[in-house]
Structure 1
Amino acid sequence: MFTLKQLEAFYWSGLLGSFSAAAKKLHTTQSAIAKRVAELESFVGASLLDRKPRALLLTGRGRLLYPLAEEMLEVNTRIVRKMISPDALEGVVRLGATELIGMTWLAKLIDETRRRYPRIQLLPDIDGGVTLYERLGEGSVDLAIMPGPFWSHEYDSVPLASIKNAWMASPKLNIDPDSVLSARDLMNFPIISQPTNSALSYLYAAWFAQQGIDVKRVMTCNSVSVIVQMTMLGLGISYLPAFFFRPWVEQGKLVELKVRPLLPDVNYHIVYKKSVLNHIIAPIIELAQEVCDFHLQGAMIIGPLGELDKPA
């Protein structure tokens, strides 16, 4: 008779294309995955995976079994979620998130996960949204919290919140905060932005294109904190979450510019491959919906003089 572990090993090997990738996903060894698949093949009496030099491919019998294995694992997930106590849920969830999540509510999510699901280990990783999307495809993260949408039909997502960004500048640039600027007026200044692996940069490139503007003078940095400090020094202008950096505006360290048209709202989602949803990942998604809160004040991270870790 076959086991769920054998079906699981076969399913993830077929989906990810290698025993090693399946082993990483299931937090076991490559040899254990290969053994389980071989045992399942022995039960079926036929090869299920064609061991090509570069990748595993489903055989004819493998293609017949694959959707049934997926269905069986989905049923198992539903049974576990209905019947098991939260204290008994056990596993590892690899969570990717963008820097703004890390600066606001990621720690709260980790703490709530530890408190409610003590046997679930949440492994956070901060990166740009485009890179996180690539890592979802590779299977190196299970969930990603990032702006969007821009993902394909293979993925599903749950909306979390929308934020408003505003153009910010240093008072040193002597830009009248009461004057209304056009998008073209912004081209008189260098723009400090996140690099192209940022989902936000990807989404806002469309905004510039709609205004008919080809941005030439751009300084990129993958740290929001450094972007803020560069902006305060007058090295350029940047778009930042207005609510988060309001303390600096109130302290006179930054000026919020009036630009028309407004930047589009940024919609954050928690994204996952449809095929990875299970009884461990689903409660983390629900918990993220509950604790999501971008409205922490920026002064908790950067002090009034722009120095890191000094409270205002």
Structure 2
Amino acid sequence: MRLSLALPASAYMEINNRQLTWFMAIADTGSFRQAAEGLHTTQPALSVAMQKLEATVGALLLDRTPKGVVLTPAGRILYEHASRALSIIEIGRRQAADQGAGKRGPLRLGFVGSAAYSSLPRLLSYLTSNWPDLRLELSEGASSTLLDRLRHEALDACIVREPIKDVSGLTSHCIELDRMVLAVPAGHPLAQHVSVKLAKLRDEAFIAFAQESVPSLSIPVLELCSRAGFVPRIVQEAMRLPTVVSLVACGLGVALVPSVAQMYSHAHVRFIDLDDDARQTELRLSLAIRPDAPTFGVLCLLKTIEAVGTLPSTPVIRGS
């Protein structure tokens, strides 16, 4: 059962940042002694501060056990809110300092490689037109890596492939809808087809997205092939969409790729629509952010998404 920690209005005035910082240090280290050393204070001073904090809250927050200091149920609730509050205060302090110095800080935006085909240029075009002084710091990576950097505040936002396995502490906004299409070498027997049923590919060699690094694209491929009644014979894996298309161009196999790939189609690759329920499989690109105290750059990005809307899937363009 989750406890509700309701404090009288006067109590909030009595709790200060130092008490919360000290309280979190004890919880993180599990020791008054280690916390005191890290905070450059004394254990008695720490004990007195925690007694005052518990008196203000009206609940026991820390429990001394033979294995160390642990949080009580009430302590866990306060820790969760204290962490969020101190983070917001620090972000506010940095933003206020930047504003006072005539700066607004950069927008640190991460993105998966396939976003560079359509979503990223569209968003950046609007951003730079409407906020020309906004400084951009862009970095490419896999969805899992970008989300980890976002949680650790090394990024302000990131464009990733959904589904996102762990959405705790984050919110996402869909910016692009897409679907899978077939990519084949230009000399392939299917190259001149307008559409193809996926079941006809059961004997083909496949270039696939790496399962460990790009599950948001590798899993849909496996599921589509399974529904068509076969397991793809994967001869090569790659992490990035341009690499997959290039390997198809080399004649190593065929591949199922997001249709947006055709916007930068290769001279030796043909893209073919899927003529069955596989074409209904929806791929999503989303902007992930931390919802608490967004930076100026993130607010500009959200206004951009609101203005430009969600990009629908692109039609298949045969040839190049």
Q: Secondary structure at the match of 1:217?
A: strand
Identify the match of residue 168 of structure 1 among 183, 193, 197: 183
CA spacing shift, 1:258–1:95, aligned 2, 3 Å = closer
CA spacing shift, 1:133–1:283, aligned 2, 3 Å = same
- 1:230 maps to 2:247: yes
Letter in 2 for 1:66: Y
Q: Deviation digits for residues 254-278 of structure 1, max 9, x if unmatched?
A: 22224332341211112246xx622
- Does the 8 Å CA contact 1:177/1:256 hold for their aligned counterparts? no
C-alpha deviation, 1:98, in angstroms: 0.9
Letter in 2 for 1:203: P
For residues 19-98 of structure 1, the aligned pairs below 5 Å read 34=39, 43-45=49-51, 58=71, 62-69=75-82, 72=85, 95-98=109-112
Within 1, Cα distance between the matches of 2:25 and 2:105?
16
CA spacing shift, 1:228–1:75, aligned 2, 3 Å = closer
Which residue of the partner structure matches residue 199 of structure 2? 184
- 1:286 maps to 2:292: no
Identify the match of residue 257 of structure 2 among 218, 221, 240: 240
- 1:271 maps to 2:320: no
Q: Secondary structure at the match of 2:79?
A: helix
- 1:159 maps to 2:182: no
- Does the 8 Å CA contact 1:144/1:270 hold for their aligned counterparts? yes
Letter in 1 for 2:174: P
Q: Secondary structure at the match of 2:202?
A: helix
Within 2, Cα distance between the matches of 1:86 and 1:117?
17
C-alpha deviation, 1:162, in angstroms: 0.8
What is the Cα-based RMSD across aligned positions, in Å? 5.1
Q: Deviation digits for residues 19-63 of structure 1, max 9, x if unmatched?
A: 9xxxxxxxxxx9998569x998763337978999xx996456632
CA spacing shift, 1:111–1:162, aligned 2, 3 Å = closer
Within 2, Cα distance between the matches of 1:124 and 1:56?
42
- Structure label with greater radius of gyration: 2
Within 1, Cα distance between the matches of 2:128 and 2:25?
25
**Could you tell me the TM-score, scaled by structure 1's length?**
0.62
- 1:216 maps to 2:222: no
| Structure 2 unpaired stretches of 5+ | 1-13, 55-60, 315-319
**Could you tell me the TM-score, scaled by structure 2's length?**
0.61
Q: Deviation digits for residues 101-137 of structure 1, max 9, x if unmatched?
A: 245454764994798496x876543222244455556
Within 1, Cα distance between the matches of 2:37 and 2:118?
40
Residue correspondences, number: 275
- Does the 8 Å CA contact 1:95/1:142 hold for their aligned counterparts? yes
Identity, in percent, stands at 16
- Does the 8 Å CA contact 1:177/1:258 hold for their aligned counterparts? no
- Does the 8 Å CA contact 1:193/1:238 hold for their aligned counterparts? yes
C-alpha deviation, 1:212, in angstroms: 3.1
Q: Secondary structure at the match of 1:231?
A: helix
CA spacing shift, 1:247–1:79, aligned 2, 3 Å = closer
C-alpha deviation, 1:85, in angstroms: 11
Which residue of the partner structure matches residue 27 of structure 1? none
CA spacing shift, 1:244–1:60, aligned 2, 3 Å = closer
Q: Secondary structure at the match of 2:229?
A: coil
C-alpha deviation, 1:97, in angstroms: 2.0
CA spacing shift, 1:246–1:109, aligned 2, 3 Å = closer
CA spacing shift, 1:243–1:150, aligned 2, 3 Å = closer
